[in-house]
A = this chain, B = another copy of it.
Amino acid sequence: METNTQAALLVKMTVAAWDTQNNYFTKLIDMLSDEQMKSEIAPGRNTGVYLLGHLAAVSDAMLPLLGWGDKLFPELEEVFIKNPDKATAEKPSVAELKEKLQAVNTTLSSHIHATTLDQWLDRHMAVSHEDFAKEPHRNRLNVLISRTNHMANHIGQLLLLKQAS
């Protein structure tokens, strides 16, 4: 296999891993009732609603981090990233959060699938040109890898909202 084909294949595999987790996340929250989504994953822990809002906010924040424009729903950050679940009594409804997630995913996906190998390996917006020259792994694709694992982490928790079989 030629080496440029190798690099392209590696990017494809990494994007596929993101898609797998992200599609599974969407499928999972669609399987859960609003009642289940409002429950805590374990006694005293985060609710499904909070984790849904959290993952939507983190995906939304990937847009500016990857140089793909402004966040669509900057208001999510305060409730779902800066503050823990119990800090905010009133949260958006499950339906509203699912709609926002879908909008974020549509925008994100169009960028992800239009990004070239060289663009993936270019710096992300939170690293300076100077630091990037020394640490070339701090690129856009590494953000996608890290966000994939973050999502997998919370999917493991959301699975606890399903009825025990």
Contacts and interface: CB of A to CB of B under 8 A. Distances in A.
Chain copies in the assembled complex? 2
Q: Which residue, of A16, A137, A149, A164, has the highest number of chain B Cβ atoms within 10 A?
A: A149
Interface string A1-45: 111101101111110110011000000000000000000011111
Interface of A: 1-4, 6-7, 9-14, 16-17, 20-21, 41-45, 117-118, 121, 136-137, 141-142, 145-146, 148-150, 152-157, 159-160, 164
A46 B164 CA distance: 11
A148 B159 CA distance: 18
Interface of A is mostly: helix
The 8 closest A-B pairs by CB, nearest first: A156-B156, A152-B152, A153-B156, A42-B42, A3-B4, A10-B10, A6-B7, A7-B7
